[in-house]
A and B are shown apart, each in its own frame.
Chain A
């Protein structure tokens, strides 16, 4: 049974990866907005922002930009899942002797692949803009691990949206608040420059601890308790979103 889940998931992932390769613009549009934001913040606003640290502003804001990239990228997963369910192909899969969970996992793995490519493009542009890090391979692996966890957590939220949406627009609307969340965090300005209640929200929402962790890892500084808070948030969101998505999926297919 397990081999069948893996085999079917592999075949279906191949299918949706092919969808992406045939419309690579979905990856480009995912990367374009964060790159534009990066240019705007580094070359327009950045000069006026005092981060209180000695590092360059592009180094400071890159972690937040990477999270925005992923948050906008997962919207395509909801979109693709919704389109699958609209067309008859979803029912065809459900009436075939395949592992039913593989239909969802294929979309999740495709989301992971597409978002990692978009993230790599954004990091490439950041390097051109002067982003530098002396991070070790182990630190890079840790950053990659956190970004993968973040992508998985957000992708399962996207699955919920895709499964329960009533229209194409509704399927991707969930991502707007997710894209906005990094702005009210430590991603672009230090939280202590914000007024009281906003600072409280910024300091206690998940993005801040994730951003601080990635920033520390790339700067080769100790991340302190941030990494554990970030991991707790990520695993917590992932587990809850996964459970919800599977429950909704079960209800949809029974």
Chain B
């Protein structure tokens, strides 16, 4: 307790409620996310994940309850919260008319950073988009667009990053690329709150997992804590069959041979390693 700053949770949500007319989307949500961790908010479609993310990123006001992000109250100090976060929404928020590089320069300028061009070039390189950097974003594949989207979110190194269903609609290779990025981020001390409806995604990435159901968090814990909720595992002998995903990834290569950009020189993760 000597350095309160370090122990202060990056996100603290207390009793958040939100209704849209008669629809009670959030009915009192509580959780905390410790700094530098990956927190997965798991829930089916319509569980209120996006609503919660929109409240935490100051796009929507809660009806009741309080939330602080990076120590700032989202209702009282939205400006400070916006300085501390970045949001990657459910649909890739890139400007399709601009090139990939112009998109990055635009965000760097809006974050009032010096030398936006250099920042853009660094990120293009890091996300394997250097070749595509001078093409319009409308010509990008789904995976490239998502990479650009996440790259735009990282400009200015915000301490808290919200990823709302970051891999929905992506092919398996692109999913793995996003996962690698998220792990890298957390490795650098960034707090990541991600929402997902894919159980395996939460299992692979998250330090803690919360299940949002009917407007409340019904469980919150580490993966092993959640697993203990069920009766202990029984030992069964099952023939190990490769899953279709294993086959697919083995055939096309884990990061894909047909990517338009292959200059992943500084990629810290071995390119061919399957995630399992």
**B is a partner of A:** yes
A interface residues with partner B (beta carbon < 8 Å): 4, 7-8, 11-12, 15, 18-19, 22-23, 87-89, 91-98, 253-254
Contacts of A88 in B (CB 8 A): 89-94, 149
CA distance A8 to B109 in the complex (A): 8
B44-81 interface mask toward A, CB cutoff 8 Å, 1 = contact, 0 = none?
A: 00000000001001111100000000000000000100
B185 close to A (CB within 8 Å): no
Contacts of B98 in A (CB 8 A): 15, 18
Decide if A253 touches B102 in the complex (CB within 8 Å): no
Given contacts A89-B93, A89-B95, is CB(A96)–CB(B59) below 8 Å? no
B interface residues with partner A (beta carbon < 8 Å): 54, 57-61, 79, 82-83, 85-87, 89-98, 102, 106-107, 109-112, 149, 152
Number of A-B contacts (CB under 8 A): 62
Closest to B94 in A: A89
CA distance A89 to B152 in the complex (A): 11
Interface class of chain B by DSSP? loop
CA distance A98 to B82 in the complex (A): 9
Closest to A93 in B: B110
Q: Which listed residue (B61, B89, B95, B97) contacts A91, Cβ 8 A?
A: B89
Decide if A91 touches B83 in the complex (CB within 8 Å): no
CA distance A194 to B100 in the complex (A): 57
Decide if A18 touches B110 in the complex (CB within 8 Å): no
Given contacts A18-B102, A96-B111, A97-B82, is CB(A91)–CB(B59) below 8 Å? yes
Q: Which listed residue (B58, B61, B94, B149) contacts A95, Cβ 8 A?
A: B58
Contacts of B106 in A (CB 8 A): 11, 15
Contacts of B89 in A (CB 8 A): 88, 91-92
CA distance A231 to B86 in the complex (A): 45
Decide if B111 touches A92 in the complex (CB within 8 Å): no
**Least Cβ distance of A93 to chain B in Å?**
7
CA distance A103 to B109 in the complex (A): 14
CA distance A97 to B110 in the complex (A): 8
CA distance A87 to B3 in the complex (A): 42
Decide if B152 touches A92 in the complex (CB within 8 Å): yes
CA distance A18 to B109 in the complex (A): 15
